[in-house]
Amino acid sequence: MENQIKKIAVLTSGGDSPGMNAAIRSTVRACAYHKVECIGIYRGYEGMIEGDFVGLDARSVNNIINKGGTFLKSARSSEFRTKEGRKKAYDQLVKNNIDALVLIGGDGTFTGGMIFNLEYNFPIIGIPGTIDNDIVGTNFTLGYDTALNTAVEAIDKIRDTASSHKRLFFVEVMGRDVGHIALNAGVGSGAEEILVPEENLGLDRLLESLEKSKCSGKSSSIVVVAEGDKTGKNVFALRDYVEDNLEGYDVRVSVLGHMQRGGAPSCFDRVLASRMGVKAVESLLEGKNNFMVGTVNNKIELYPIDKAIKGHSKIDEELLRVSDIMSI
């Protein structure tokens, strides 16, 4: 491999997701394999500005593949959004003889990296780490599979109590702009209705569906709601609306919240993180720059980072149709 890069730094930024530690481990060990120095940057871009760096080798990342969160910590940096902040960050990288960056994070992380790359022509490769699975150029982002399993496990437990008490539960899952978690967790847990940002079901249709469920003999129901659902009401307002307009339902709300971002990563996320970390390091050593590592049809590919940021991931229309059929 053609190699003018002698030292690669890795950071995690934005919201954490299961699999980030596994991606750090993979990046560090790929560097060690190719005899390239690796530096960890604590607290994302904030740490880059402050020079909060630590040397990492293959032994530094023992026993982290199974850990949730990120041992390098994550932070959102308002200073990095300014030219002055990015100049400070660049000066720290030069001072420490760092030649390239691996950025693990989501849309905001990649946007910051792309601007930094434009200003300083500094080699970067992104690894998509976000539970929302909302980045174009990859079928799966790190943490999405784990978050799905967490959500389904929680909904299964909620169903136990819902059926015991003949209750209707609204379960809110993460997904402000996209409904991938809601749709897949809803189908996987047998939800009666699934409300996602991409499709405005409408309140009348929701009432009609719940009424039909009751008439068909269902004594309890689960409605999975993405936090960005377009009915115009949050999950508690939805509960109030149903209670006011539909008799015979004892309605409860459960917001899964940040538990979806925690926990040990699934085997799928650990393997994906391992593949992505190796690809990121080897792509930098080959002279590639300003790309995101993604998985497309189970192959690890590179995708231009600017297109990943500007694109919009699409909801699975076929799965929406399946969810309608399953709720009969």
Q: Kindly list the catalytic residues.
A: 132
| Helix 83-95 × helix 107-120 angle, to 10° | 70
Q: Which residue has the tokens 């871009």?
A: 45
Which of 50, 261, 52 has the alpha carbon at shortest distance from 148? 261
Distance (Å, whole) CA 328 – CA 316: 20
**CA dihedral (98, 99, 101, 102) positive or negative:** negative
Residue pair 256/170 in contact (Cβ under 8 Å)? The answer is no
Tokens at 269, concatenated: 């996320």
List alpha helices for the chain, DSSP H.
20-33, 44-50, 83-95, 107-120, 144-165, 180-188, 203-215, 235-245, 267-285, 305-310, 317-326
Tokens at 195, concatenated: 């409300």
Residue pair 272/140 in contact (Cβ under 8 Å)? The answer is yes
Residue pair 200/179 in contact (Cβ under 8 Å)? The answer is no
Distance (Å, whole) CA 219 – CA 216: 9
Distance (Å, whole) CA 9 – CA 26: 13
Q: Which residue has the tokens 């300083």?
A: 120
Tokens at 142, concatenated: 């790190």
Amino acid identity, residue 18?
A: P
Amino acid identity, residue 252?
A: R
Distance (Å, whole) CA 142 – CA 16: 10
